[in-house]
Each structure stands twice: as C-alpha cells, then as structure tokens.
Structure 1
C-alpha cells in the first residue's frame, strides 16, 4: 500500500484548492457579466413601466400605450432569457462544486486509510519499551542519534497527518455547504423565472386587448396617419431647405474667400513689381518676394478646416453618440408596417424615442444651432450643425437655445412635448448634407 506523506497530502489539497479558485474566477467573470446585464435590463423595465403608466392614464387606448407594452414585452422576454442563462451558469457551478467535493472525499478516505495503517503499525512495533530497546541497541552514539531522530520524525509525521485530515475534513464540510447554498440559489432563480413568465403572459394579454381596441378605431388611426404624413413631409422640406441654404452659404463663402485671396496675391505682385521698377531706375538690386504665412485653407464644399475636423470626429463617433433623451425606440427608421393596421405602411425620417412627460432633451454632439422652428404636428424643431452633418430634434417644447448658438455634447436644448394622447415622444434625425441616415446605427447601444 502506498504511503502518503503529509507533504504529499498538502500538495493534493493545494492542487484542489487551486483548481477550485481558477474555476471560481472563470465563473465569477461570467457571473459579473450576467448580473450586470440583469441589472441593466431591470432598469429598462422600470423605465418603460413609468412611461407605460403615463400613457395608460388616458381614458382611451392609444399607439403610445401599445408601443410601451410591446417594448415591455421585449424586455420581459430578455429578462426570462437572462434568468435561463443564470440557471445554466448555476448548473455549471454546481457541477464544479460536486467534482471538487468528490475529489476531496476520495482523498480524505485515502488519508484515513493511511493514517489507520500508521497507527496500526505503531501499535505493533512502537511501544515505549520497543522504542527504548531500539535506541539503546545502537552500536555507536552516532547511530543512537540517527535512531532518535527517526523516531521523532515518525511521531511528527503522524501528528502532521492528523492535522491534514482535520483540514481536509473542514474543507469537505465547506464544499458541502457551498453546494447546498448553490442549490438554494438555483431554486430561487427558478421561482423568479416562473414569476416573470406569468408577468409576460399578462403583458401579452394586455397587448392583445389594446390591439383589438385600436383596431376598432381604424378611421381615427388612418386620419392620424395622414396628419403625421403631412407633418413629416413639411418637416423634410424644411430640413432640405436648411441644408440647401447652408450649402449655398458655404459655397458663397468659399467663392468670396478664394477671390479675396487671389486679389491679395495680385496686389502683392503689383506692389513688388512697381517697387522693383523704381529700384531698377536707381540701379538698385531687385527685392525678392518675402515668404508669407500660410493662410487658412479653403476646403472644397465650403467647409473650413475646423468644420471638416468636426465632421470627421462626428463620423468617428458612429455607434457611440449619447442618446438625446431617456427612453426607448418606439418608431424605427425607414418604411415599416403600421403596428395595428395591416397592409398600411408608414415612413420615418429618423427614429421616435418614447419617454416621460417633460423629459430633458440634449444635443448628441458639439455643434452650432442652425434653426429653431415651430411646425404643425411636430412642435418645436431644432437643427444643429456638425460640419456637413445635421441632427434634428422634433416634437419638443421649452426650447432653451437659439440660432447661431454653440452647443456641446449633452448640453440641454429643451424638453420633449406630450401629445393629446399623453404620449411623450421625441423625433430624432441625422442628415449628411441632403441625405438622411439611420440614427440607430449612430447612437450608443442600450
């Protein structure tokens, strides 16, 4: 039978602890990521619940209420998926703990067996009398010293092995407690998951009720679609007017600056030629043209160097722009089917962000306010220039900026307006010259 020294058992125990720690670190990283996602999603759920509460306060159902319910269903589904991930992670952690426990139990049994063997052998051969005989039968003092040292090491080894057994036993008890705790945690997650699934079913039932109620208001919805279409067309025409105005102003500025530069160059040449002619009459040496400081560069398209740099940095901020207002995307970019009326398509120049009543709206980037206009169906509309880019903020009130004003990213520019249905929704657009872009590809992920 092999003999496990205390040192060997210490190494075994250390290896098990290191394995447990390394697995724990890997699991902890996944656990931290999962908990962060759960917390973020719960925050979104709470935010949407607040928005839904405001829209539900109205006596009649409305599209804002339906959009909030749809978004809440999406976040509810995600929460259930995250809880499923949680259960999967707990199962992995449980498997690791069970394997550790099994390894500890196996080594504990080996240690007990070896210790029992040592005790048995000691009882047979190492009585006090036998030890004395063993010592004093030495043929020299040197041999006596070696035998004494051997007996002491053997006694110390038994004591150390007993201590190793106790440590291993405590480790085994600790692992059993961790397994029990992990099982309890898993059961709690499963119970929570069941509760969240019931909430999801309730939301789907509510969604169906709202859709049915809205379907019975088809004439009103179609009228609303036409009103929105007229307001959208008017807004688009205004944006294109602003973009064209800015383009012409930049080109005119470029033309004037180029003419002014050419005039300065001609004047300098004429002055130098006249002076050198006078010097030639006097027999003096002609003067060479002096090097001039570099004048500000005129960039093609009428943009100055500063404006070009701003546009370049705006481009580099794609997918990282801050949201102009808290909330969720209730209307996506482009042409899409109406959420209630089948076969009816609606077009969106940007995105609609549904939020709370009176929520503060902020600029998404550094720029200059080009225009502030009040428009039918769109409330106050703000256009901010970022080089050859423009961001548009519509369906606002309480504007706190004016044309020509410089703004920084996240500066407040006004508040979102609330319509007669109790829906607070910002219309946000991004344009490059006269081309509209999808804002969802520019805003930071949420």
Structure 2
C-alpha cells in the first residue's frame, strides 16, 4: 500500500506510474484518496482542538472547585459535557473517514520502478537474459502429460476422481522426483544463507491484507468461510507475515528466509490446451525465498536473488530466459519483477517457473514492518520474494526436455536426491 503522504507529495509520479500499469480511473481514484485524506486531517484537527479545550476546562474546573467558586465550575462542567459529546461524534466521523481512506488506498497498486517497460500484456515483456541450448528431441517425443501416463508417474484422472481437475496424484518415481526437487531447492537456498522455516498453510485475513493478496486476489484464493481463513497461494504470505507489526534494528538486515509449502489457487476461468497437465494446477508445490532488506540495499538483493535462481537452472541444465515484466503484466504489489521461463521443447513454448520481485515499501506499509535507522528514526523496510522454484512447470520441463527413446534421464545434480538416473518402463 502506498503511503498517503507519498501520494500527496508525488502525485504526478504516482499518476505516471499508474498510467504505465494501464490502471483505469487513476486520476479519479488518486483525487478521491487525497480528498479523503484532507477531510480526515480536517476532522483530526478539529477533534484535537476540542480535546485540548476540554483538557484545559477540566483543569480550570478543578481550580474553581478548590477556590470555592462552585457555580462557575458547574457552568464549565456543563460545557465540557457538550465538548465530550462533540468529540464523540468527531471520533466516529474520523474512524469512518479513515476506513474510507484505507479502502481507497487498497485500490491503488504499487508504483513501478522507472526501468519497468511500458506495455499492456505479456507480449510487451522484455527478455533481458537467455541461456541454454534447446534440445533436439527424438522422433515421437511426447508432452509431459503423455509421458506421465506412459511411465505411470503422475495420474491426473485419479486426482480428478479424488478432488477435481488441477489436483494430480504423483506416483512412484514421479513422487520421488517431486520430493527430490523440493529437497534440492531447499538445500540450495539454505547453503546460500536463507534460513528455512515451516509455516502454516492457512492464513487469517490480516495476513492476506498484509502482503497484498487481499482484496486484490480474493477471488483466486480458497476461503474457509467457517473460520475466515485462506489457503495460501504461496509461502510468501505466511513467511513475510512473520514480520507483521515488527520494528527491526538496522543490524537485523538482511533477513533471508526460505520455505517449502503446497500452494492453492482457484485459477477461476482457466481452461484450454495451455493449462493442460502440470501447466496450471489448483494445488502445487513451491519453494520460496523471502528477504527483508534495508531500502538502500533492496535492488542489490533483487539482483542477488535473480543470480541465485539462475544458478539453480544452470545446474539443472534447463534452457531458460529471464523477462523484465512490463507495466501491464507486473503484479499489483510489485515495483519490479523478473520472470524466469523454461523452454518446453515438446510443447514448443516457454513455461513460467519463477517470479522474483521487489515490493519496496508497499507490503511493509500494510504490514507495519519498520526499522530504526542510524538516527533513531522509524522507517519502512523493503520486502522481496521469489520462487526458488515452483515445481509443476520445472517438472514438466524436465520430463519433456530430458526424454530419450530409453526413458527420462534425470539431471545429474538430482540423482543423489532421488536415487535413480532414469525413469523408464523397465
């Protein structure tokens, strides 16, 4: 959430950033926000004046009673009762106006970093890096959903029977390979200095608002209505919320966390060939990295996270590219996002497998995540997160790109984790 003071002092910058996002009604929403803030501050000023006057009268009343001037004291006492009634009304008005202002602020996305390219869709994203040779597959190579059936390692129909579409069952070597990837990702992250945490798979409403999933993505989250809890769409939500309402010291930075969780997304309206098999699921596994940083270091940290994910993909020997997302494709809370995509040779297309983002102070403002600077003043921290990595499409890429006539050859780096070198029917 943007700070209203920032919007007030940088209105043109905010409007320019929102225009880069193609945010509709930006002028109207920003104007309404600033008007609500002016009205809130006016009410606050009037309330402060009345409370100050009431406090002064209370002292005067005490002095009058001491001096025996009871009649004057009673007159002033009557006036304080009127002031109390007025302050009560103003307090209610202030709360209503503050709630109105909060709702308006929730509608405004983050201002993109200046290097974010303009654009309206994923077609306008910039490719900033590409590495790896796209393999030439043998005749009769199959997409991963056919490979899963051929080698009996993932059962989509069984998952549909148990739960519904988008909830696959991993079997045999498929389950072992899935577990191997999780452990490999976690080991890579912890060896890079990220502390591993295991977090709840459901969060409360405050946590959803804290990292920006609510109200923006409410329809995409599974909601347990009886208890008003939400199944997490990513470990970013519970891990970052560890630091909600926390005041850090400068020497606490950097804070680096990693965690594995299943993730749950409704993905309402998703259908077609592009979401077949593992390409888009309602439940999937992901290993996440989260950083809490001093504002002066957050973009260096973002570069470090990008290089960390690059290192993992290099070890897996998967062809990949890195995209800088344009204003029309960047997430609601992000100031700058890099997407990683793996090329699926069998599907002849790129599959998104990771997003690495800097949110600057946007999440921290919602979370009230602050730190004491060297002067003893309180500032908002910067938050960052990245997939390291999301498993379904990594697995899809591995199955498709590593297939041979003899079977699926496991990348060397994963063999110690899964205990086999080949998935085949033998």
Q: Please indicate the TM-score interval, normalised by the length of the shorter structure.
A: under 0.3
Higher strand share: 2
User: What's the TM-score once normalised by structure 2's chain length?
Assistant: 0.24
Indicate the structure (1 or 2) with the bigger Cα radius of gyration.
Answer: 1
Higher relative contact order (CA 8 A, sep 6+): 2
Higher helix share: 1
User: What's the TM-score once normalised by structure 1's chain length?
Assistant: 0.24
